[in-house]
Amino acid sequence: MEECCSTKPKKEHNHHHEDHDHEHSHDVENQSVFRLFLPAIISFVLLLIGISFDNFIENTWFNGWFRLFWYLIAYVPVGLPVLKEAFESIKNGDVFSEFFLMGIATVGAFAIGEYPEGVAVMLFYSVGEVFQAMAVTKAKTNIKLLLDQRPDEVTVLENGQPKVAKAKSVNIGEIIQLKSGEKLGLDGELLSEKASFNTSALTGESKPDTKVKGETVLAGMINLNSMSQVKVTAAYKDSKLSKILELVQNATSQKAPTELFIRKFAKIYTPIVVFLAIGITFLPYFFVEDYQFKSWLYRALVFLVISCPCALVISIPLGYFGGIGAGSRNGILIKGSNFLDILANIQNVVMDKTGTMTEGVFKVQEVHFNDGFNKDEILKWVNVLESKTTHPIATAIHDFAGEIDHSIELKNVEEIAGQGLKAEINGKELLVGNLKLIKQFNISYDVNAENIVYTLIAIAYDKKFVGYLTIADSIKEDAKQTINKLKSLNVKTTMLSGDKTSVVDFVAKTLGIENAYGDLLPEDKVNKVKELKAKNQSVAFVGDGINDAPVVALSDVGIAMGGLGSDATIETADIVIQDDKPMKIPMAINIGKQTRKIVWQNIILAFAVKGIVIALGAGGLATMWEAVFADVGVALLAILNAVRIQRMKF
């Protein structure tokens, strides 16, 4: 059974591809509301006139062939497109579609002389289809307007002179001039000393973000004050915004289990309905004394209309699409509706410390070197060695020690996972890392790490312990609120970090995190997550999505913080939080829970109403009018319920 109004991107010139998306939703964006409803308006007016001639205006001529012809004209504007869709579906191997159900139900009504009811069923079905198409289009448009903020044209500086050019044609390395209030069309590096930007299109955050010379600025950001210059660093198609837009538009290809079940169910359910309708028509002949073919055929036709599973195959994908849209509006990219279902059932959130619950901006607090070592010289060596890595600690040391002395030659530089760095200088070994690294090389030291709350960076040279630096990182302002919110959602929290245990315990205690483990290597983090999974508990891992790739792969859902900083993050994680705010973690879980609630409300509503009216219809107590409500009415109610999520505050 196909989706009445698919939310998947259309393939050009191929309306009936794998999922058989039908034409009711095609080009909805490009048509006026009046034009969309025009066939239904024509049909409705002709139907009202026909009913008036039948019931309220006395006449002798509105009967026979003329009456049939009148109702046929009323039927054609709304019925012909549906019959055409039924024919196309059959041609593509999908015999039992909702178009087929509606076609045989209304043609059958005409066959037994119930012309007004045949027209009415198709009229209301078509009106429902237009509303459905409009709802899907609105959901897609909201996301597209939110994300596709790139201007088509930009101002490029050529020999110092501004020139307007198509954004797609601008090359890497060219310089863009950005006026106050203008949107940036391409990713780049800020050349001006300072500029403030509105980043809400990317992060959902309305607070201005101030950038300084050399910092990265992204397509979709709006320049708020003075004129700025930006050097282009990525082609139009490779911008972060392009990747994000593509990700969201393709999100519906990852189907939730509920959605997949409904699709499979519909494929089995629809042919059963058709054969039951045939049974309702002919089987009573063998059991009923005063069997009347016309009466039982009418009941079967009512049964067919009621049984159309439109409400399910439309409202469920629309509910999930609305959840993905709600996430996008709040700066949370959800890569598929299946992840919304997983989020709704998450029992544990396991998080990294640095950059997730803390700012990830380290500062050197203390320097303790033993006597007999040249402090300035050692710091210069450490600064050069740390420049070989991208870890935030390296930035802190660089900020403290100053410019890197490129005349210093290091040999055999090696990064030891979870421990630190090793190199040779002046033919002697230099070690910079945690105390595990110092122990591994059998170097004795006289430091009691348990008494130091800050992160400790130990240094050894020529097999001797030099001393240590202490580095501190500040906790994010909404981190504690995040943990409280997760607890209110009955989600357990665990912190895993390669940082030393005393630091991790201090952060965990401050925030109220239930379980915390420090001094972990990447494989230790994997083992901790395996322990949770062994208890049959679902796990979401929150980190940077790159360094913790094994843990992300093992967890039920991987959530990456600060997705704007890394293409790899967008590709690796299942969910990307575009700003660095931890509060988006419980928000994402809440969006998942609300989406699931709405989807199940729609499933229960559809089955309950259809079940009642099917029973009445089979017993001859329901007419086509009740059937119309059970089909189109329930579908519209389900759609209205599904679009609610797009207006919710989280």
3 state SS for 231-268: EECCCHHHCHHHHHHHHHHCHHHCCCHHHHHHHHHHHH
Residues 492, 514: contact at Cβ < 8 Å? yes
Cα–Cα distance for residue pair 629/410, rounded to 1 Å: 79
DSSP 490: T
On the CB side of 321, CA atoms within 13 Å amount to 28
List 209, 352, 574, 579, catalytic entry: 352
Q: What's 541's DSSP letter?
A: E
CB neighbours of residue 57 within 10 Å = 10
* For the chain, counts of helices (H) and of strands (E): 21, 22
Query: What six digits make up the tokens of 621?
Result: 């107590």
Q: CA 153, CA 156: separation in Å to the nearest integer?
A: 9
Q: Which amino acid is at 151?
A: P
Q: What residue spans of 32-114 are helical by DSSP H? A: 33-55, 64-91, 98-111
Which uninterrupted H or E stretch holds 467?
A: strand 464-475
Q: Is 519 a catalytic residue?
A: no
Helix (H, G, I), strand (E, B) or coil at 195: strand
> Buried (b) or exposed (e) across 497-514, using 16+ Cβ within 10 A?
bbbbebbbbbbbeebebe
The residues pairing with 492 across neighbouring beta strands, listed in sequence order, are 348
Neighbouring C-beta atoms of residue 45, cutoff 10 Å: 11
Q: What are φ and ψ of residue 457, in 5° steps?
A: -110, 105
Nearest-Å Rg of the Cα atoms of the chain is: 33
Q: Which residues are catalytic?
A: 352
